[in-house]
Amino acid sequence: MWWSSAMTGFREFSYSCNMDLTKEAHVLSRFIGTNIKLTTAHGCFQGELFHIDAARAIILSKVKDLRTGNPLPGMMLFFGNSILKVETKEEHSDLISRGEDEPLDESSVNMLSQDSFQPAPKPDDVDATAHPRMEKSDVQIFNYSGDDENINYIVIDKFQPMFGPAVRHLQNQKVLSLAAVTLNESPYGKLCWLQVATKFRVYIFDILLLGPRVFKNGLQMVLEDKGILKVVHDCRWLGNFLSQRYSVVLANVFDTQVADVYLFSLETGGFLPSRARTVKECLTQYLKLSPSHGSFLMYKQTLMKDNPNIWCDRPLPTAALKLLSLEVMYLLSLRLSMLDAMLADYTLLVDGYLNACCQRTSDVFLSSETTSSELPKELQQLCVLQQRRREKALKEYQVNSLGFLIRAEI
């Protein structure tokens, strides 16, 4: 017998290793929403039963480590083949007990964090009545350890049950951000991961496991949709890669690298920089990330230096998954910051226009209507502003042989 009989006075359940847990899961499902005590090879925990999956896993919320007495953030997922005992707190009943001599699974516990970056999936996103088979790689949500910042991401490495709801969610967006990692950024490289972020969710698609079908089954429609704005940093290689390898043509793209060069030109009165900025530099420049928040930007280089094939590893380390999520998530905020900077001159001109009108007398204001074909002097100030910026830029930057301004690294 895999599970030993319950102790005297406790609720009794027993079954062999050749049977599934359908019966026990049915009984445990009646305790959803109540507190239970769960013992594994790694510790003893108490929490509210959130979900029970037949022959697979138990998920607890509001978890407390009974060994230390400390509450644990978010939810915890426990795999059935490493659970030693399950008891209800209210009745102190031993629901399931397993022999101490049975083999244990080293990966019995997976930490999951609460939905702090986004709301929980709604019924139209995930079928709450289906109780899909929960596996370690279906959904992985972790808590980023930055300064009071949380990130929620979902890893999708199979078509059922999460792929369909994810694609439907993406199809309903107006703006999303996009990034990818490959072993080689040439058309002959290998696409490993594709990250897509919306305002409420970050999806990480495992392209190595899903294969080209991931595009034909819905992602191509999203990427080519002209009604959905895609925020990307340096869309050249990704656009070329998707086109050459998967016949996917990116449409309606906001490129943050292009936006940075455009903003530099505005700032310097028309000069161009000697080089384009990396995503790390853009995030630092426009979002003013603190060292603690920006530490993940350096971690990618460290990972790849230590293991050049890191993106082919399965399972991918938790820290690497966090990195991929943060990289694509911050692009959405970067776009908004850049748009504000792009409209700065326009806002300045409008304010000057409004102030000029408020300062005029009624007679002067009426006479100005008769000369509306002339360019108002308030708008002529834009030329003066650009000239001053050019003069300032020539004092602050060195000019290379091509006439570009040499910008320093951030």
Contact call for residues 327 and 300 (beta carbons, < 8 A)? yes
Across-strand partners of 263?
none
Q: pLDDT tens-digit profile of 124-134?
A: 333 333 323 32
> How confident is residue 84, by pLDDT bands cut at 50, 70 and 90?
confident
pLDDT at 122 over 90: no
Q: Among the listed ranges 24-33, 91-100, 170-179, 323-332, which one has the minimum average pLDDT value?
A: 91-100
Q: How far apart are CA 129 and CA 30, in angstroms?
A: 15
Q: Which two tokens stand for residue 337?
A: 């910051």
Average pLDDT, the chain: 75
The DSSP call for residue 7 is: P
155 within 8 A of 204, measured Cβ to Cβ: yes
- Exposed/middle/buried for 103, CB within 10 Å: 0-12, 13-18, 19+? exposed
Give the model's pLDDT for residue 26.
61
Pairing of strands 253-255, 229-232: parallel
Q: What is the pLDDT of residue 216?
A: 94
Structure-token pair, residue 150: 């949380």
Tokens of 350: 């409008």
Pairing of strands 175-182, 109-112: unpaired
Task: Report d(CA 96, CA 3) in Å as an integer.
Answer: 7
> Residue holding tokens 């080519």?
224
pTM above 0.75?
no
> Residue 36: what are its φ and ψ, rounded to 5°?
-135, 160
For residue range 57-66, what is the model confidence (pLDDT) as tens digits?
Answer: 677 778 888 9
Q: What percent of the chain has pLDDT over 90?
A: 36
- pLDDT over 70 (residue 227): yes
Q: Where do the domains of the chain lie, and which CATH numbers do they carry?
A: 3-111 (2.30.30.100), 113-342 (3.30.420.10), 344-406 (no CATH)
- pLDDT for res 20: 41
> Is the CA virtual torsion 308, 250, 343, 325 positive or negative?
negative
Q: What is the dihedral of CA 154, 160, 166, 172, to 10 degrees?
A: -170
pLDDT given at position 173: 96
Q: Which of 127-141, 154-168, 184-198 has the highest mean pLDDT?
A: 154-168
Check whether 36 has a pLDDT greater than 50.
yes
Where is average pLDDT lowest: 139-153, 199-213, 234-248, 348-362? Answer: 139-153
